[in-house]
Structure 1
């Protein structure tokens, strides 16, 4: 059982190549984004289970007796091999009654937490009175896997708290990761949390948050690339909202209307994903400048393709124009129609150029971060490994 506070973190995700084409059986490359969600779980003796979400201004708590009643009623049916049932979700909504807007971020976050807490308690032994604080560097609703990072952090923390998985962090270490079989268990439970939030997730986001690095996704099969480099990028949030469902439907309509035109475009996007995979493996073995030039060309070609299939946006065009003025190469990431873009940075890119591009993007009203892709997945942290701003957040709550 949990004897001391533990801190875990998981990365967000971006799509490097293969957006929309993946819906039609083509390959996509999903990458771990080194903007992370941090969770701290602490034992307490007040007879309550509490969760604090300062990013969205929410704090909730439940009496252990209240949860025990629900745990008894559902103990036979809560398992990582089963999807959440409508009956289970109705029961959870009853005790999640402080949240009154069913589709709100706060409500979904609370329901995912309750489902994972009760499911894991039912299978491995009830988790004692705890307090959880979750804080994220990821913007919510920007298509960067914030909910998956949250679910993976919850699963890892709760499984560790009840002893279902070990605690690999030793005193002499700053950061540690679980062995492969325990990561797989974390991922399975996190997927159930994602189902609570999204209904029918692909499993890509939680897999990226669990394993990190780069994952290839095609026709429902997820493969972790073994040798990948860490690449510097600028990540830009245009803050333009969009409907993924509408964009996906629009691409499908174009394919039906112009199959002879659109199918070759999708095949070309697939080829870009495959070529990029080969180049990433080559960079991991020998980081030659020539490979980064190829990556930049692939980014440019794919961005043109994404405009052709109808998922571009003037805000994304603006990101590409602004960064091109500084000799940089950008493309949308995710659904398109607004949302976010990534800009590749070569290892030798002048920091002054990066800062100038950031300032110009900010002047457009965009939000911009310099970060990296290919980051590590879910891990445990010692306090000395945490950024000062993370420690400050945890100390305030």
Structure 2
């Protein structure tokens, strides 16, 4: 039996701005997609959590065609000498902006390469997972599969990244609130780009302000100044609101966090739904705030950045 697990991610800074080649700061977090592979006389992939079982020898619904792509790419790299039954499990919220599909692709790729006796080097795992993400998302930035593969805090610009080498303090955590509001990421991105093209003189200025902000955020991360980092998260939220990706549900969560002691809070991901994140000192994060969000039907997660990417279970 082979077992591989890959982490989800949070975008601290960079939503939508990365599409125009601005940098992002992203981090792997301690939520995982896990793939267990057993020998089998066919080729099946199953996830009870996601509600599917597919046979790769038969026509596969379009929403699962990225699994076929992973299998094809791996078959080019190594000899497919035996069948497999892959069981995927995950505690990463689906369609929330936390990289669930990328982590699933990364963990499955890593597990299959290991199963067929091929060394699952990060660069190869990342390349294959990105190809799978292209099928899921069209033209992804590549950030989700990269951070899930390599782990850690990354300063990311399309096709390249720098690891931010810091020890995340024990007294700082990130509260994630998943609204459960689903949205089409590609459609949200398209509408933002339409606004940019319509008001290019205005939006080019907003994007320039963001670029200055993300370099400041990098500096405060390295120096461990989480108060300033939180303030920049708040500014980043205002920039995101100007892109018309917010709504009253998201903003109520953002401001509830700030009123209850968050150092900073913002949308993370495409917006219009998905998740909101808040940066908290552990001493300031109270159960009543979590209960308030849960009572409204939201799911909450307390996470921390992690340095490890995909690995054996």
TM-score when normalising by structure 2: 0.91
Aligned to 2:17: 21
Does the alignment pair 1:378 with 2:280? no
Tell me, yes or no, if the aligned pair for 1:37 and 1:150 is still in contact at 8 Å.
yes
Kept after mapping to 2: 8 A contact 1:229/1:281: no
Greater Rg, structure 1 or structure 2?
Answer: 1
1:312 is displaced (CA, Å) by 1.4
Of 96, 107, 116, the match for 2:59: 96
Partner deviation per Cα, 1:31-74 (whole Å, 9 max, x = no partner): 21221101111224xx2222221112222346xxxx5xxxxxxx
2:6 counterpart of 1:10? yes
Counterpart in 2 of 1:76?
A: none
1:268 aligns with 2:228: no
Cα distance between partner residues in 2 of 1:193 and 1:246? 19
Which residue, out of 131, 147, 150, partners 1:211? 150
Equivalent in the alignment of 1:50: 44
Identify the residue that residue 252 of structure 2 maps to in structure 1: 318
Aligned to 1:228: 166
Equivalent in the alignment of 1:192: 131
| Distance in 2 separating the partners of 1:244 and 1:52 | 25
Which of 18, 37, 41 is the aligned partner of 1:41? 37
Matches within 5 A, 1:1-397: 5-44=1-40, 47-61=41-55, 95-97=58-60, 99=61, 102=62, 107-108=63-64, 111-165=65-119, 182-218=121-157, 220-230=158-168, 232-283=173-224, 291-328=225-262, 329-346=264-281, 348-350=282-284, 353-381=285-313
After the TM superposition, which of the residue ranges 246-255 and 356-365 deviates more from structure 2?
246-255
Is the contact made by 1:215 and 1:222 (CA closer than 8 Å) also made in structure 2? no
Paired with 1:193 and 1:253, the residues of 2 have a C-alpha distance of 27
SS at match of 1:373: coil
Please say if residues 10 and 26 of structure 2, whose CA atoms lie closer than 8 Å, have aligned partners that are also in contact: yes
SS at match of 2:286: helix
- How far did 1:253 drift? 3.7
CA contact (8 A) 2:27 2:153 kept: yes
Structure 1, gaps ≥5 residues long = 68-94, 167-181, 284-290, 382-397
CA distance in 2, matches of 1:199, 1:165: 28
SS at match of 2:93: coil
Q: 3-state SS of the aligned residue for 1:342? A: strand
Aligned length: 309
RMSD: 2.1
Consecutive unaligned residues of structure 2, counting only runs of 5 or more, are: none
Counterpart-to-counterpart distance in 2, 1:196 and 1:245: 12
Aligned-partner Cα distance in 2 for 1:215–1:360:
32
Q: Distance in 1 between matches of 2:131 and 2:276?
A: 29
